[in-house]
Chain A
Amino acid sequence: MKTSIAFALAFTALALLAVAPLILPEYWTGVLLGMTGYVTLATAWALFSGPTRYVSLATVAFFGVGAYTVAVLNEVLPYPLVLLCAAGIGMIMALVVGLSTLRLAGVYFVIFTFGLAELVRQTVSWWEVNVTYTMGRYVFLPFEGHHIYWQLLALAAITFLIAWAIGRSRIGLALKALGDDETVAAHAGIDVTRIKLFLFVVSSTIITLVGAIQAPRWTYIEPSIVFNPTVSFMTLIMALLGGAMRLWGPLVGAVPLFLLFEWLSGRFPDHFSIILGALFILIVFVMPNGVLAKIDDLRKGRQS
């Protein structure tokens, strides 16, 4: 019963969000678009990094690959096929990366993923410079802001569905064990590496698709534009702020942060980096488990 009410609520919210661009002025569609992009990124990121506690800075590696796939293929293939290709490439890349690195743990994994983003960017640059002799690529697709927004919204809905389904499945149960203690989980007969790999691939594929869907908005693409490390940091900080262990956590983090940054860029255009850094520190010290967990704690504290 409770689940069906939650679903009805989520569906109503989704429907309202879908008609929003018809009512709102264009700027707000743009804001919703950027926000939905980050909500999807943060939720997909938390899908893997939440339960496994592997902090990944590779978000922009997959995001950028998605955008580049669209830039390369948009004049060759029909758009839906381009998206499929992007998803496929993201999936294969995640498989290769996952198989070779998911046995790393802790800080080694963080460093590796940060390096991965740089590696992919340099590889794409090298390829473009030495093989195709083109640096910038053009994406001329007839999409306006609201078309891109609707696609992102659909992807966000799918991401939430996947995250919800995983949470209720056997894998979800295994994940809980894995998150508490990996060694114990392994001894209890859980194939730890396979589960981590599965999550990494799902999460990375979604991130790749976000990049692919957003690409037509920029018309012109080059590595320095799509492999911008800020995307990785923003995703991370949003998921951590809301709480990476909960389904709605990344959403709770992404929405206010995105609006805050948007407001800051208008009011205090010169202080963005300082505020980003301060927020990082604040989150780590004050609420390492996110806003939602903090609220729970406060509530419990009052009751007892």
Chain B
Amino acid sequence: MKNFLSGAMRAPRHLATCAVAALAITGSATGLAAQDREAVTIGYAISKSGPNAGGADMTVTPNYELWIEEVNAAGGLKMPDGTRLPIEAIAYDDRSSTEDVVRAIERLATQDKVDLILPPWGTGFNLAIAPLMAKFGYPHLAGAAVTDKASDFVERWESSFWFMGGSHDYVSAFTEILVAEREAGRINDKISMVSVADGFGIDLVKAARPSFEEAGFDIVYDKTFPPETSDFATIVSEASNSEADTFVAFTYPPHSFGLTKQAKVASFNPEIFYLGVGAGFPVYPNIAGGSVEGVMSLGGIDPNNELNSAYRAKHEEIIGRAPDYWGSVLIYASLQMLEQAIERVGLDKEAITAEISTGTFATVLGEETRLENNQLRAINWVGQWQDGAFVAVSPEGSEGLAAVQLPKPNWD
């Protein structure tokens, strides 16, 4: 019955599609055959206004602009036959509204008929467009989206790729450090934890509770606050009375900054001070008045990785400011993978999807970056400010990861 219905619906649509296609070809140049094309059109919809604009403008948009500028400066995207085609970018504002981002993707796919679509910022927005990207067959390189369900999503939407990991990954890497520190006798087994009542904060705190408790920690203070909160005096004083050596805050930039300032004012200096998004922004040391040594958060970089250092220098040169220490490099790496996939297989969307899924690429993350089950797993999960840089850390340190340095020194 269902098949019959959809078949019946499709039949008139085919005719209509033909008519529309004919119109489109006469009306625009995008319908030209591949050998005649003069450029590659790449579209994206991003939050330029509204509550998401800040995050998008930190992590996503600058990397799109940087990459497009770099590619075009080199003459364009390299095709398998060695020729180069410049990128023509089409950028829309989704006004931080999911209805608008969905419509913008429809517009890019069916109206502008772009060759490729780059994803928007945020977990919710990437999920909102995922069904459309799969339907139109575009590879969906979901960069700024933290989700534990990536393994389900790659089955649901076969052309989707997830580059930022999930809450469990971040939390379990951090728990490992906590356990090592406790065994070394540097911290007690109490944790005070706060989170922002938003998708990000709740997702992480939900993963953190069982993870900390299974590792034998006692969560003595556990509070969720609304995103509009700007006064953190109560939270900091309650956390400092809780006798926990570890303070964890799953927060967004305004809260991370506010908590830092309040902690300094109240001389709240726990052995471990871990914050959410914002603590890995280049602007964070200025906000904290310089004394950020020992502060921990998600992400981090390897300061000895020359590829990454070159990327950061280039970002500063072209965009005029440094990238953040977490998501930016992942977004940029996803674009490099896209670029190299095109060089190998051309502009066929299906072939690009297959290549990204199985190929090995040289990116800012390393000479041999590849995806596992369509997800990037070579992510730095925990970072710490050490000597003015936000470096990726692990309990003992290993290749590419520094040893974590605890307890955190005093603020001053």
Contact = CB atoms under 8 A, between A and B. Distances in A.
Given A136-B203, A230-B97, A125 B226 contact: yes
Interface string B67-93: 000000000000000000000000111
A126 B227 CA distance: 12
Interface in B178-197: 197
Contacts of A122: 226
A228 B97 contact: yes
Interface in A25-82: 25-31, 34, 37
A89 B123 CA distance: 28
Interface residues of B, number: 47
B41 interface: no
B198 interface: yes
B168 interface: no
B100 to A, nearest CB: 7
Contacts of A30: 102-103, 106-107
A225 B206 CA distance: 21
Nearest to B102: A217
Interface string B3-17: 000000100110011
Contacts of B199: 135-136, 222, 224
A26 B109 contact: yes
Contacts of A230: 50, 95, 97
Contacts of A136: 123-124, 127, 199, 203
B128 interface: yes
A22 B197 contact: no
B61 to A, nearest CB: 11
A138 B127 contact: yes
A224 B102 contact: no
B202 interface: yes
Interface in B124-140: 124, 127-128, 130-131, 135
A134 interface: yes
A133 B201 CA distance: 11
B103 A270 contact: no
A106 to B, nearest CB: 28
A183 interface: no
A27 B103 contact: yes
Interface string A212-242: 0010011111101100101000000000000
Contact of B99 (A134, A214, A273): A214
A127 to B, nearest CB: 11
Interface in B200-256: 201-203, 206, 224, 226-227
B20 interface: yes
Contact of B127 (A24, A28, A220, A269): A220
A11 interface: no
Given A26-B106, A125-B197, A265-B100, A273 B49 contact: yes
Nearest to B225: A129
B369 interface: no
B99 A22 contact: no
A266 B92 contact: yes
B98 A272 contact: no
A179 interface: no
B91 A135 contact: no
A27 B227 CA distance: 34
A140 B157 CA distance: 12
Nearest to B201: A135
B107 A272 contact: no
B134 to A, nearest CB: 11
A182 interface: no
A145 interface: yes
B110 A27 contact: yes
Given A22-B12, A130-B224, A269 B91 contact: yes
A278 interface: no
B321 interface: no
B114 to A, nearest CB: 12
B290 interface: no
Contact of B16 (A23, A37, A221, A269): A23
A198 to B, nearest CB: 30
A219 B49 CA distance: 22
A27 B106 contact: yes
A156 to B, nearest CB: 16
A270 B48 contact: yes
Name which of B17, B110, B130, B206 has the most chain A CB atoms within 10 A of its CB: B110
A33 to B, nearest CB: 8
Nearest to A217: B102
B102 A218 contact: yes
A263 to B, nearest CB: 11
A129 B124 CA distance: 17
Nearest to B94: A265
Interface string B106-122: 11011100000000000
A41 to B, nearest CB: 12
Contacts of A273: 49
Interface in B1-50: 9, 12-13, 16-17, 19-20, 24, 48-50
B400 interface: no
B51 interface: yes
Given A25-B20, A135-B203, A272-B93, A217 B99 contact: yes
A130 B222 CA distance: 11
Contacts of A28: 111
Contacts of B9: 22
Name which of A29, A125, A128 has the most chain B CB atoms within 10 A of its CB: A125
B98 A218 contact: yes
Interface in A248-272: 262, 265-266, 269-270, 272
26 contacts: A23-B19, A24-B20, A27-B107, A27-B110, A27-B111, A28-B111, A31-B103, A34-B99, A122-B226, A135-B202, A217-B98, A218-B102, A218-B124, A219-B128, A220-B98, A220-B127, A220-B128, A222-B124, A222-B198, A228-B96, A230-B97, A262-B103, A266-B107, A269-B93, A272-B49, A272-B93
Interface of A: 22-31, 34, 37, 122, 125-126, 128-130, 133-136, 138, 140, 144-145, 214, 217-222, 224-225, 228, 230, 262, 265-266, 269-270, 272-273
Which A-B residue pairs are the 8 nearest by beta carbons?
A269-B93, A135-B202, A220-B127, A27-B111, A26-B110, A218-B98, A30-B106, A30-B103
Given A27-B103, A130-B224, A135-B203, 14 more contacts: A23-B20, A34-B103, A129-B197, A135-B202, A218-B124, A218-B128, A220-B98, A220-B128, A221-B124, A224-B199, A228-B96, A228-B97, A230-B97, A265-B92
